[in-house]
Structures are given as structure tokens and as C-alpha cells.
Amino acid sequence: MALYGPYIDLLPGRYEAVIRFDPDTPCGGRAMMDVCATAGAQRLTSQFVTAHGIISAGMSARLEFSCPRPSRSVEVRLFGNGTFSAGITAVEINGEIDDSTAEFQSLRLCDLPDPGVERSIRKGRNLYEGYQRGIGLQFSNLGARIAVDPDFYRARALAAGRTIIGDASLWNIFLLLKFFLPRLSVGNIVEFGSYRGGSAIFMAVLAERLLPGVEVIGFDTFRGMPATDRAVDAHQPGGFSDVDITELREYVQSLGLQNLTFVQGDFEETASAVLRQRRNVAFCHIDCDIRSAVEYAYDVTRPYMVPGGYWVFDDPFTADCIGAAEAVEDILIKRDGLNSEQLYPHYVFREPFEK
């Protein structure tokens, strides 16, 4: 048996799974192709594919299927002795999402747990809100309830395959955008370290629905990690370079997202001018792994952060990102005297409510 992914979540709809093969692959025999969900526990469809059929389809195998309900971790698999199995170059799932969301339930603010602390501002942050999100996601079934919220599910599906951010982090971003950003003065959403664009797409889809007029701006070199500090950073220059920015922008255009912009280049060469033009920022997602980038992303956004605005750090508690943690410790905590509002799944800090 061979498992080929892409391990994405799908909304109810009609789809086509496509496996593409190298044109020079020796082609003989046949194999069983199927599409499964939930780690293989639910088979959606299957059929035999033959060498003749693959050649006739331009070195591809295709299988149509439907999802009558939301399906998690959908994968395309190939079983058998066909010699073409060694020549797979890509696996795709394409299709149309049904309009019906009858099986979904929108999350409400009252679904978040009561953490049992005072509803007050303490040292520049709202611990009640931070505990609601963190405790809810780490110690209750809040994540499962978010997963069937129609806004979350649609955004997650459209970003699938383009982000390596875990579900808990996406759940937290969803909570912040749906329930907490609307309480602040209007400001844009910025991201430093967009990589393949999945989390920026996720936020833009949500913002289009929940935060009218808010723009999402994703900064990245889109050619890999810049120079790193060998004294503190475990990451190497050039890492995360497997990005096609042209394809990414074409995908965003195909989604019709008018509120998402990707800015290519080193942060120091691009961000200041862009932020000076856009002005207010309400939410800054920092996912850039290394000390210098994390420090710069915070410093360049602070003059534009609205009162109570959020810095959401993805990396400080990741084993190979001590440089990111050091930037937070030295700059936000020691230099600027900020205190965290949330520890799980993100390190979250707030701009003081009175500037």
C-alpha cells in the first residue's frame, strides 16, 4: 500500500482526485485507487486504474467522488503492483463546495469556558480572555466545536495544503478574529513569515466574512530563510524555500480574495513603507522562527498597533526556535515591560489599552 495525501479537510461537495505521474515512468499493470477520510477509517470511493488508462489521461489517474458531510484528513491512496506507482509527481483534489451548511453549528462567545478569574485589565492584558482561549483549547472540547463552525471550516479547507500550522493554532486565530478583534478599533492584519500562504489565506477568508474592510498583508522573502545568527538560531539560511509565489498569487486570485496582499522581499526592505501607507494594525501574526526577524516584525508594527491590538507569536515554544523566544524575552518583556495574555497555543501579547 502507498499513501500519498494530501491529508486535507473537505466541506460537503463534489470533487475529483488526481494523481499525476512523470511522463518517463515505466507504465504497466494496474492498481486500486481510493479516497479515504479520517486516517483511512472512512472510504469515500475507489476504482481500479490501469496503465492504459493512465497513458490515455496524459499520465494521470482521476477519480470523482463526493463528500455528503464534512470530512477530515482526506487522502488519496494507491494499492497494487502497477509499475507507475514509483513515478508519482503530484496529488491534487479539486472540486466544488456545496452551498448547504446545515450540518455545521456556528460557535458562540458563550461556548467559551468561564476560567473563573476576574474580568479586568491586569498589567496591560485581559487574562480572562486569554484564559478563555487557552484553557478552552487545551483542556476542553472547544477545538472540536470550532472545527464544525462553517466560517472556520471553509477557511481551513481553502488554506489546506498550504500551511504547516497545527489545528490548535488555527483554532486560536479563529477565536481572536471572530470574537476579539471586533472589539478593537479597526486595524489591518499583518503576518510575518507567510511561507506558502496558507495561514494568510485562512485569515483573509475569515476577515472577508467577519471583519469587512480589513486587509490582510503577508510578508515573506518567498525564497527561503534569510541570514541567521549561528549563536542563537537553529535554522539555516535558505530553509522554507519551496514556494512558488506566482502560483500562490494565482490561487488567491482564483478565490476572489480582494483583501489579501503578499509582499515579497526581506522584511527590512519592504515592511516599513507598506505599513506607513496602510497605517493601523490590530493583529500581527509572527511566524518567522529566528531572532532578528521576530524582533524586527514586532518593532516595525508597534507604532501602528491600535490600543489593545494583538501580537501572536507562533514559534517561541518550538524546540528549534529559541532565537524567537529570546527576541520576545529581551524586547517585549525586558525592554518594553509587556506581559503575556496567553501561553497556549500561541504566546500572545497586547498593545496597552491606553497609548
Contact yes or no for 112/75 (Cβ under 8 A): no
Contact yes or no for 10/67 (Cβ under 8 A): yes
The pLDDT tens digits for 282-303 are 999 999 999 999 999 999 999 9
C-alpha to C-alpha distance for 71 and 1, rounded to whole angstroms: 22
Report the predicted TM-score, pTM, of the whole model to 2 decimal places: 0.76
C-alpha to C-alpha distance for 269 and 38, rounded to whole angstroms: 44
The CATH class of the 109-350 domain is alpha beta
Q: Please name the CATH architecture into which domain 2-97 falls.
A: Sandwich (2.60)
> Which parts of the chain register pLDDT below 70?
1-6, 81-86, 97-103, 355
Please check whether the two domains, 2-97 and 109-350, share a CATH topology.
no
Strands (E), the chain: 2-10, 13-21, 30-37, 42-50, 60-67, 71-80, 88-97, 121-122, 125-126, 188-192, 216-220, 260-264, 281-286, 305-313, 340-342, 347-350
- DSSP code for 33: E
- 24: nearest Cα among 115, 111, 88, 78: 88
- 311: nearest Cα among 339, 355, 344, 350: 350
Q: Where are the domains of the chain?
A: 2-97, 109-350
Residue with cell 483542556: 139
Residue 197 confidence (pLDDT): 96
Residue 102 confidence (pLDDT): 46
Residue 1 confidence (pLDDT): 45
Phi, psi (rounded to 5 degrees) for 65: -155, 170
Contact yes or no for 27/84 (Cβ under 8 A): yes
